[in-house]
Structure 1
């Protein structure tokens, strides 16, 4: 399995995201939070300062160790002016909701969103072909700090299993700078 992860990491390493610091997030992609049939959250229309956490897949071991930091640190982020945290996974809404429940996230300021068609992930250029491991197109692991629809900071891991630049602690430190 290590060689498969290495192959995927090599695919991701040289990719350039469509969004960068100063770029506007694309609007019009409705992600699913509570309704498996209809999207209700447009990340391109958020007001205030928010964080978007993109993950390759709900329930995967790296993602299940990555996201709890954001859930437990939500108040620390709010002290830095962050309004809400949006966790985005290229999974169906049932899976994302079950993952949220498994992680014990009950805070109204942490949203778990299903990008089930990967439309948002494609639009921001932060996806990759994970067919050999996760069955298809998935999100790279990234964190975008967005203020009034503009990216003010973007952190993207070089390999999907890595949780270094995008850890809750690393992003909190970057917000201090």
Structure 2
């Protein structure tokens, strides 16, 4: 039992992190990830490399806080660059409207009404572009899975932490994209 990265054991069959994630992403999400990768590669990494070089030139590295901090930060940035490069290669960009825009599919903006009459607006996006504060949910989420393929005025029942929740679909729309696939 060595190492700092030791975590508690989780049953792989019950661990939600082991569930396969879809490799779908919207065109806007892919552009955002490419922008982050570009910024890290062209701006942040060279700046950190220069800081590490300057700190290393000061002499003894064992007690040099600048060197230690910047080296850790540089390694973190390099790891993020490697992750984004691999992730962008495996993602499939969905940049077209579905053939039937009257149904809920990937990329849809959906308005739901719950049992109390409250309206919930959400968007179904890829795992890499979720924004909980804007209610952009992953296509892999239970609510999104329940919504896929449904039409206007359909009722959807989902198991929620507080019990079953039933929603009525009140509107479906899609962002501007190219013609249907």
Q: Indicate whether the TM-score tops 0.5.
A: no
* Bigger RCO of structures 1 and 2 (CA < 8 A, at least 6 apart): 1
CA radius of gyration, larger in: 2
